[in-house]
Amino acid sequence: MSPTLPASDFSATSKPAFYKTLVAQVEAVLDLSLPLTANLANISSVLFYALTDAPVSRKINWCGFYLTEDATAAKPRMVLGPFQGRVACTIIPFGKGVCGTAATKRETQVVKDVHEFPGHIACDSASESEVVVPIVVGDVVKGVLDIDCLVKEGFDEEDRVGMEAVVQKLLVLWQ
């Protein structure tokens, strides 16, 4: 069954208005009767196309999820989940790269220039900036939402707030 999305107006003149519409789109495609991967696949598509389609055209080249394999392991790591974009790194240890740092610190990472981020993992050499939001349920990091951009300074504080709102809507998938 194809989800029915609410009318979308991604021509919003402000980022907060854009993200309000985006969060509504994300909420509309969530289907708790489906497996996690099906939901995350649709969410990555909604995000990718909302961020790349005109009039927004944010120069996004990758959008997806890395999911924690075993949070209680001595050396926890994340594995590639549903995404939109080029072939990606399949395993990222906690503490490594932008994704691993977000998971370890449990804090959103907004990186204006990935080439200046110590230990950046370059899955796509065209990426210039990145935002990574950890997905935390209780005390457990379930994974991260990772979005890469083809331009430096592709993300700012408003994007952080907007993407964190998206992730808040996704937490229901792990309950």
Q: Give the residue ranges of DSSP H helices in 10-121.
A: 15-29, 36-52, 97-105
- pLDDT above 50 for 14: yes
* pLDDT score at 175: 87
Euclidean distance between CA atoms 138 and 152, whole angstroms: 33
Number of CB atoms found within 10 A of residue 88's CB: 17
Question: pLDDT tens for residues 59-106?
Answer: 999 999 999 998 888 899 999 999 999 999 999 999 999 999 999 999
Residue 57: is its pLDDT beyond 80? no
Sign of the alpha-carbon torsion through 34, 2, 38, 159: negative
pLDDT of residue 7: 47
**Could you give all domains of the chain from N- to C-terminal order, each with its CATH number?**
15-174 (3.30.450.40)
53 C-beta neighbours (distance < 10 Å), count: 12
From 88, 90, 85, select the one nearest 149 (Cα to Cα).
Answer: 85
